[in-house]
Structure 1
Amino acid sequence: MIHRCKQVQELWPKWEEMGLYIFFLPKYCSEMNPIELEWQHLKKDELAAKSFEDELDLAYAVIDGVQTRGEKANYSVQRIKFNSHSSA
């Protein structure tokens, strides 16, 4: 990890004198990731108390839920399809 290597650590005091402070986050910090809040609302508001026959039904419910959240918040939603069967 470059930010914890010896050369960088030696620079920390100099940076702190300049007003630059390094803060280390946990390995995964969901509170710092805006998409996590969207997923939380999607699950709580759009998908709550629903069950799905299979993954396809769930996928369509997620797509519809994202679209609904976009309409409620007045932002545009764009669906991007990835080709998982492409050859390299």
Structure 2
Amino acid sequence: MNALWQKLKKHEISGQMFDDEIDLAYAVIDGIDARGERNNYRTERFQFDNHSS
């Protein structure tokens, strides 16, 4: 995962400024999707349960 993060920072979101964390999160999602399309592999998102007990 660290190697992917380094590539995303260098190639997908380098030089961009983000107003808040949600903008950064969407940029990361878009970057992963773009890399998947370019390299012809499937990407999939999932959500963690955030229900408090």
- TM-score, length-scaled by structure 1: 0.56
Q: Which runs of 4+ in 1 moved over 3 A?
A: none
Q: Which residue of 1 aligns with 2:6?
A: 40
- Residues 31-72 of structure 1: CA deviation (Å, up to 9, x unaligned): xxxx22211111100010001000110110111011011111
Unaligned runs of 5+ in 1: 1-34
Unaligned runs of 5+ in 2: none
| Aligned-pair Cα RMSD in Å | 1.1
* Sequence identity percentage: 53
Q: How many residues align?
A: 53
Counterpart-to-counterpart distance in 2, 1:63 and 1:80 = 11
Counterpart-to-counterpart distance in 1, 2:46 and 2:20 = 21
- TM-score, length-scaled by structure 2: 0.88
